[in-house]
Amino acid sequence: MPDAPSSPRHPAPPAQAPAAAAAFYARVDAALADKALHRALSLTTGRLAGGLTSAFAALPDGEALRDAARRIRAHTIAHLDRYLVQFSEQAERRGCQLHWADTAADASRIVVEIAQANGISLAVKSKSMLSEEIELNAAFESAGIRVVETDLGEFVVQVGGDKPSHIIMPIVHRSREYVAALFRDKLGASNTDVADVPAMTAFARRVLRQEFVRAGMGVSGVNLAVADTGSLCLVSNEGNGRLTTTLPRVHVALVGLERIVPTAADLGVVLQLLARSATGQAMPVYTSILTGPRRARVDNGVTGEPDGPDQLHVVIVDNGRSRLLGSDLAEILYCVRCGACLNICPVYRHIGGHAYGGVYPGPVGSVVTPGLMGLDQWSELPHASTLCGACRDVCPVRIDLPHLLLKLRERGVAEDRAPFWLQIGMRVFSAVATRPRLYAWLGRVAALLGAAASRDGWLTRLPGPLSGWTTSRDFPVPAKRSFTDLWREKTAKGRRTL
Amino acid sequence: MTPRERILAAVRDGLLRAELPGASDDRPAYRGLAWNPDGGSLVERFTRALTALTGHVDEAVHPAAIADAIVRIAMLYHATSYLSWDEQELGCLDLVGLLGSRGLRRVTYDLPADPTTRDEAVRALEPVPLGLTGATAALADCGALVLVSGPGRGRLASLLPPVHVALLNPNVLYPSLAALLDARPDLVDQGSSMVIVAGPSRTADIEMTLTHGVHGPKHVHVILTA
């Protein structure tokens, strides 16, 4: 954690902060005004959160499984250096080619260089948040390599030049009419092709099959890697993850350096929770555990595996994770990216994913984004939470998200990022609250002023910086007589109870 | 310093200061958790779970009956050719011959490493309407098949065609994935791919409308063989 300035006298927020904060509030206002977004959000997040509840109700020992999953993730992160070494050695022993990337730019460059070395002109991609984080598509495009998203939602996002708004449901903010119009305008679909959702899905399958058949490279993320076998685990419901990692001759897997479990048995425990937390399914439709490239024919004539990629490249990405590890936010590295904290979060349910601005939205994103990239551009995110604790209760590895958000708020104050009026205001409040006579006197003044300014027992407009409270709700009028006055009166009469 | 050394040094440095609540030095133990979510035999639970996912479960024990069952399924989808695991991997010898005599032709392949010929080979396999596999294991709690790749056990038979038929010996049923990986962690490393398949390919990306067969098979049929 960066050191706090020694004497915060006249706080001057960083130059970028006001613009970044204004942009954040502009995104929030736009999201709050978007009626279609609200309809989509209430439908999807409600159903996903409900599915999670019933999936766990049907799972005896669900709480014990959560405890076990948390212990596995905590232990792995506490010994991350050892498990990273073991994973990379075991993966190499099985024929994987390992690459290590310090930064997002390094990671993108490595992937593009692998493509160029193999003469690739078309790459297919299965959904990967990490590829968004490293802005891989832009790197491919500037190298003249075409890249096609193959997850249906991500494909719609790519064709429409949009951005995903949910970790596992990228187009919760879009309607079927939008998708139909997009397929007609951009891909030449007929009216029959977009008659209903199954028809649109079948159309996308046909279009994407042609890309899969031609692509020389498949790029995927990794949900979890297994240290003792060098395996990569990827889950998907559509099957695009399997096609991406099977049909093209080169497979490149992007792994965030924290996404490791020690053994296959540990993987089993975490997978028991992942889909239940993400979508309420007992298991995803497809869980692939990939160990090295295909085991091809050997020279003595013994037959090998008939399909699978001939090369498997694993890119281990740091991009701020080791710095996050060395901080009081390290617990966020336990995260397995199920998205449950988004669906349950009252703030996410009102503003959706785009408003957060970063790659990772919701409560987890409000910790990960500033954690990886610093608070300069992201100082508002830790405040985009009511701290209600629903995210902590639903997390399959029990990450204390409200606690981490408070840590970030604390860091913001220590780095002089709090608004000027708030710093002054808190200083005035502490001066008043530590002087009982002044406090009591000001209380009586406030009661008098409040009574004079009130309308039907409510204050509809507060002055100065306090007006923020009353722009969206009324403030109750202070009681005519304070608790301290009442207490003194009662005790003076010799009655100790009220 | 190589990037590997630099990143590992940064991780070790971070670990000196990391706040990691709940972390233990020993690998955590968690044996004794209940892996059996509900009552009934493994076969009953598997059948119930797969049926709920719109999969189909049949039974057939002898090779002739198995061939009959496969032919019935093929006729449903007007299939006349199929991708398949090798006979010995299906656990049913003579099956290819039996199916051939009923008008079902097996398409064999071994993808070449050369880019051009590989593309052509994939293009030729893409229209095959049916895939036939065995099952290395299966999971009762979620109706899933576990398929481990290897010589004679290609990945594409369960992936490329719109219909997937799997022969399952009920003796390889486990209560859940956690139970399987606890009992048989060695399976993970027996081939380059271990895939757990729970029903037909599905998506709900567009307005949460559940749709089957987006990239993988739209129809999954399991034939219990004992």
Mutate to test the interface with B, among A165, A289, A317, A323 (most CBs of B within 10 A): A289
Q: What is the pLDDT of residue A172?
A: 78
CB contact under 8 A, A269 and B30: yes
Q: Quote the strand ranges of A154-249, DSSP E.
A: 217-220, 224-226, 231-236
Q: Walk along chain A (498 residues) and give the pLDDT tens digit of each residue.
A: 344 333 333 334 444 457 888 899 999 999 999 888 888 888 888 888 888 888 888 777 888 899 999 999 999 999 999 999 999 999 999 999 999 999 999 999 999 999 999 999 999 999 899 999 999 999 999 999 999 999 999 999 999 998 877 767 788 778 899 999 999 999 999 999 999 999 999 999 999 999 999 999 999 999 999 999 999 999 999 999 999 999 999 999 999 999 999 999 999 999 989 999 998 888 999 999 999 999 987 666 667 999 999 999 999 999 999 999 999 999 999 999 999 999 999 999 999 888 999 889 999 999 999 999 999 899 999 999 999 999 999 999 999 999 999 999 999 888 888 777 777 888 898 999 999 889 988 888 888 888 888 888 888 888 777 787 788 788 888 887 888 788 888 888 765 554
Token pair recorded at residue B167? 């022969």
CA distances from A300 to A304, A329, A396, A418 (A): 11, 54, 48, 70
Residue of A nearest to B27 (CA): A75
Q: Is residue B10 part of a domain?
A: no
Strand-pair partners of A226: A231, A261
CA distance B27 to chain A (A): 7
Residue of chain A whose Cα is closest to the Cα of B83: A306
**Number of domains into which chain B is organized:** 1
Is B92 a member of any domain? Answer: yes
Q: Do A58 and B27 touch (CB under 8 A)?
A: no
Kindly report the length of chain B.
226
Cα–Cα distance between B44 and B65 in angstroms, integer?
Answer: 21
- How far CA A486 is from CA of A157, A432, A492, B64, in Å, comes to 63, 20, 10, 93
What is the model's pLDDT at position A50? 85
Q: What are phi and psi of B165, to 5 degrees?
A: -110, 130
Contact present, A242 and A58 (Cβ < 8 Å): no
Is B188 a member of any domain? Answer: yes
Inside any domain, residue B60: yes
> Rounded to an integer, what is the distance from CA A12 to the centroid of its chain?
30
Give me the pLDDT at residue A189, please.
96
Q: Cα(A194)–Cα(A200) distance, rounded to whole angstroms?
A: 5
Find chain A residues with C-beta within 8 A of B206's C-beta.
152-153, 156, 171, 174, 176, 179, 197, 200-201
State CA A250 to chain mean position distance: 29
Residue B175 lies in a domain: yes
Chain A residues with CB under 8 Å of B22 CB are 70-71, 74, 398
- Return d(Cα A143, Cα B165) in angstroms, integer: 42
Q: List the alpha helices (DSSP H) in chain B.
A: 3-17, 42-52, 63-76, 87-90, 95-101, 115-125, 177-183
**Using CA atoms, how far apart are residues A323 and B18, in angstroms rounded to an integer?**
9
Say if the Cβ atoms of B177 and A44 lie within 8 Å. no
CA distance A412 to chain B (A): 19
Say which of B109, B178, B191 has its CB closest to residue A295: B191
Q: Domain containing B66 — which CATH number?
A: 3.40.50.10420
Judging by DSSP bridges, how do beta strands A286-290 and A231-236 pair with one another? antiparallel
Q: Which residues of B touch A106 (CB under 8 A)?
A: 3
> Closest to A84 (Cβ–Cβ): which among B11, B110, B185?
B11
Are the CB atoms for B32 and B39 separated by under 8 Å? Answer: no
Give the model's pLDDT for residue A298. Answer: 67
Q: Could you write out the three-class secondary structure of A415-440? A: CCCCCHHHHHHHHHHHHHHCCHHHHH
Half-sphere exposure of A126 (CA within 13 A, CB side): 28
CB contact under 8 A, A263 and B4: no
CA distances to A29, A320, A331 from A133, rounded to whole Å, are 25, 11, 20
Q: Which residues, at least 6 apart from A474, have a Cβ–Cβ distance to it below 8 Å?
A: A458, A459, A460
Distance from CA of B71 to the nearest CA of A (A): 25
Nearest of A108, A356, A339, A311 to residue A217 by alpha carbon: A311
Please tell me the distance in Å from B139's CA to the nearest CA on chain A.
10
Inside any domain, residue B26? no
What tokens appear for A312 in the block?
């498997």
Closest CA to A237 of A168, A328, A337: A168
Asked whether residue B120 is domain-assigned, the answer is yes
CA closest to B199 among chain A residues: A285
Distance CA B19, CA A7 (A): 26
**Domains (ranges, CATH) in chain A?**
17-34+323-414 (1.10.1060.10), 59-319 (3.40.50.10420), 420-492 (no CATH)
A-to-B residue pairs, Cβ atoms closer than 8 angstroms = 317
Nearest-CA distance B218 → chain A (Å): 10
Residue B22 structure tokens: 């709940």
- What domain range includes position B181? 39-204+217-224
pTM for the structure as a whole: 0.90
Q: Residue B208: which of A50, A338, A163, A171 has the closest Cα?
A: A171
C-alpha distances in Å from residue A246, one per residue of A114, A249, A305, A490, B198: 17, 8, 12, 81, 18
pLDDT in tens, A102-121: 999 999 999 999 999 999 99
Separation CA B10–CA B63 (nearest Å): 60
DSSP characters over B170-187: GGGEES-HHHHHHH-GGG
Element (H, E) at A323: helix A321-325
Contacts of A40 in chain B (CB under 8 A): 207
Cβ(A44)–Cβ(A348) below 8 Å: no
- The reply to whether B123 falls in a domain is yes
Could you identify the residue written with the tokens 């070449």? Answer: B112
Residue with tokens 């009992």: B183
**Contacts with B107 from chain A: Cβ below 8 Å:** none
Low-confidence ranges of chain B (pLDDT < 70): 31-39
Report ipTM (2 d.p.). Answer: 0.96
Give CA–CA dist B141/A76, Å, rounded: 27
Distance from CA of B82 to the nearest CA of A (A): 15
A363: left (phi over 0), alpha (psi -120 to 50) or beta: alpha
- The answer to whether the CB of A226 falls within 8 A of the CB of B188 is yes
C-alpha span between A253 and A184 (Å, rounded)? 33
User: Residues of A with CB below 8 A from B12's CB?
Assistant: 81
